[in-house]
Amino acid sequence: MKTLKEVKIGETCKVVRLHGEGAVKRRIMDMGITKGVDVFVRKVAPLGDPVEVTVRGYELSLRKADAEMIEVE
């Protein structure tokens, strides 16, 4: 299973499904990372975490630990 955490900077991937449960998962979905959406990994913070992605036309930052919950193609 490949997750968003493993996607390299500058690459675009398609979300397959979200794992985990509760607040963090719901929050990620509320922010527009849902099944089938394209996510572009834009950059990583200077200290190596979190990452910045472009989804549905805007910029979103999330921690690598949370990115691990997102399964991608």
Partner 1 sequence: MKIKIALAGNPNCGKTTLFNALTGSNQFVGNWPGVTVEKKEGKLKKHDDVVITDLPGIYSLSPYTLEEVVARNYLIQERPEAILNIIDGTNLERNLYLTTQLVELGIPVVVAVNMMDVVNKNGDKIDTNALGKALGCKVVEISALKGTGIEEAAEAAIHAAQNTKTIPQHSFSGVVEHAIAHIEEVAVHTLPEEQQRFFAIKIFERDEKIIEQLGLTQDNRKHIETDIEAAEKELDDDAESIITNERYVYIASIIKQCYKKKNNGGLTVSDKIDKVVTNRILALPIFAVVMFIVYYISVTTVGTVATDWANDGVFGDGWHLFGIGAGEYEDVSGEFGDAANVIDAFVTAEGADDVADAIDTESDTFDASAAASALDTFAASVSDDATADYTLVDEETLAEEDVTYTGAELKEAVATYTSYGCEEPDPADYGVWVPGLPGIIESGLDAVNCADWLKGLILDGIVAGVGAVLGFVPQMLVLFIFLAFLESCGYMARIAFVMDRIFRKFGLSGKSFIPILIGTGCGVPGIMASRTIENERDRRMTIMTTTFIPCGAKLPFIAMIAGAIFGGAPWVAPSAYFLGIVAIICSGIILKKTKMFAGDPAPFVMELPAYHWPTVSNVLRSMWERGWSFIKKAGTIILLSTIIVWFTTYFGVVDGAFRMLTEDEISNSILATIGNAIAWIFAPLGWGNWQAAVASITGLVAKENIVGTLGILYGGGDGTVYSNMASHFTVVSGYAFLAFNLLCAPCFAAIGAIKREMNNAKWTWFAIGYQCGFAYLVAFVINQLGSIALGTANVFGIIVSIVLIVLFIFLLVRPYKESTTLSNRAVKVK
Q: Which residues bind partner 1 (CB under 8 A)?
A: 17-18, 21-32, 34-37, 43-50, 52, 56-63, 66
What's the number of CA atoms in the CB half-sphere (13 Å) around residue 28? 26
Residue 14: name the closest of 43, 52, 51, 55 by CA: 55
* Smallest distance from partner 1 to CB 31, Å: 6
* Smallest distance from partner 1 to CB 43, Å: 7
Calpha distance 15→18 (Å, rounded): 8
* Smallest distance from partner 1 to CB 49, Å: 5
